[in-house]
Amino acid sequence: MVVGMTSGSAAWQRGDRRTAALARAVEDGLLGPQSPVVGLLDVDGVLAAVDALDEAFEGPAPVLHTFAAKACGLVPVLRLLADAGMGCEVASPGELEQALAAGFPYDRLVFDSPAKTVQELEFALAHGIAINLDNFQELARVDRLLAGREASGPIGLRVNPQVGAGAIGAMSTATATSKFGVALRDPGAVDAVIEAFEHRPWLNRLHAHVGSQGCPLPLIAEGIRAAYELAERINTRLGRARITGIDIGGGLPVNFADEDDRPTYADYVAELRAAAPGLFDGRYTLVTEFGRSLLAKSGTIGTVVEYTKSAGGRRIAVTHAGAQVATRTVFMPGSWPLRVGVFDAAGRPKQGPAEVVDIAGPCCFAGDLTASARELPAVEPGDVVALYDTGAYYFSSHFSYNSLPRPAVYGYRTGADGQLRFALVREAQSVRGVVEESGLAQAYNLVVLRTR
């Protein structure tokens, strides 16, 4: 039952699964002195999120839910989502290849990027991959590539409804000066969009995405309503249903304050239905591009505490998880705070009086903190610190500062026999791998160049 997925009981169950997984990871040696940082992904939590998304959009309108690959471009994770019936939204050649390797068919892919090359467009057009074009120059480029031929897949135009920013400017894509899409409130823009559809029979979708974390649901709904109203205007003007699909993006914010899922996908859909009820009547195929909200709450980064110390009256716990895995949190802690758990060396939750402590990472700069001035049970060397809600971006968007290797990632699930099992998602990168990636094979090339 989807309601249960967002209820307190389901949140507690997820927390219990996470606690069991951390203890088992320590017991199995996946997390410990030899493996001081690891990513853990709750497979049941991910599948429950997919079910909640599907149920929220049930109705007469056909829907393709695509996962935004940028949120976790790990092939086994993408394969899990493909197996659960999702499509995939990609925004680069690398993400496209990851999605194909994961088994997504061409007709369940959506290619978004503000900088698609001719070669990338040719590939998408040849294989029937849905494309969202970003600007009028890209429209003209596709004109030349098609050369009068019909397109083999849906092609849309991204529009910027310019409804404003949410709480995090960098996550807001519908501002007055956003780099994405055709800015609808700029002089002449709407007329130019209408003309584009009048002269291109192959253009059949509109795409709008207001933003993600920090964007409230009413703001998101306002932007999508603008795209829907433009679609209605274009179809009325042309006297037929030229626009057959609307890509409404993703952007459901994630609650990083506690265990609960809020807002829910049902909340999101209710907001959209109130703003643009005709969106759901079946005349348009809807496409979504959720990412963070599908994975975040199901992910945990576990890390060993190497040292503890005091400075200026503040306790500091030095761990192996910092800016290399929690980049946004370290550089924008006010916008991307993480909840923190403390476990003993056996992986059991610690109890006892709280102390104020900073949780520091291994990177060689002072701001490498994943949590500041938190009241937590006393932290000692050998303990385990868990960074919660890290299933999206934290596993796959590694920051190579100080040449720190990428940690291993495991998925976990409890079987019918009650036994918790792990499945390897990505091997830990070796230090040798870091060196090879940094140009080892070309070590002498600059010296040779100097002697010529």
Tell me which amino acid residue 302 is. Answer: G
Instruction: Find the catalytic residue in 72, 88, 215, 364.
Output: 364
Q: Are β-strands 130-133 and 109-112 bridged in parallel, bridged antiparallel, or unpaired?
A: parallel
Paired sense of beta strands 384-388 and 340-343, if any: antiparallel
CA–CA distances in Å: residue 253 to residues 5, 174, 247, 336, 365: 16, 15, 18, 12, 30
Q: What does the block give as tokens for 336?
A: 């991307």
In this structure, the strands spanning 205-207 and 245-247 are parallel
Dmax (CA) for the chain in angstroms is 73
The residues near 146 (Cβ < 8 Å, ≥ 6 apart) are 125, 202
8-state DSSP, 239: T
CA separation for the pair 442, 437 (Å, rounded): 10
Q: What sign results for the dihedral spanned by CA atoms 409, 411, 417, 418?
A: positive
- Tell me, rounded to whole angstroms, the distance of Cα 141 from its chain centroid: 29
Residue with tokens 């002195």: 33
Which phi and psi (to 5°) does residue 32 adopt? Answer: 170, -165
Torsion of CA 221, 226, 231, 236, to 10 degrees: 120
Report the 10 Å Cβ neighbour count for 275: 19
Q: Is 364 part of the annotated catalytic residue set?
A: yes
Q: Which residues contact 430 (CB under 8 A, 6 or more apart)?
A: 405
Residue 373 is encoded by which pair of tokens? Answer: 């001035």
**Cis amide leading into 36 (omega within 30):** no
Whole-angstrom Cα distance, residue 380 to residue 119? 54
Cα 267 to Cα 384: distance, rounded to the nearest angstrom:
36
Among 305, 319, 392, smallest CA distance to 71 is for 392
Bridge pairing between strands 299-311 and 245-247: unpaired
Candidates 93, 91, 127; CA nearest to 112 is 91
Alpha helical stretches, state H, 84-155: 93-101, 118-127, 136-146
Collapsing DSSP to helix, strand or coil, 91 comes out as: coil
Active site residues: 364
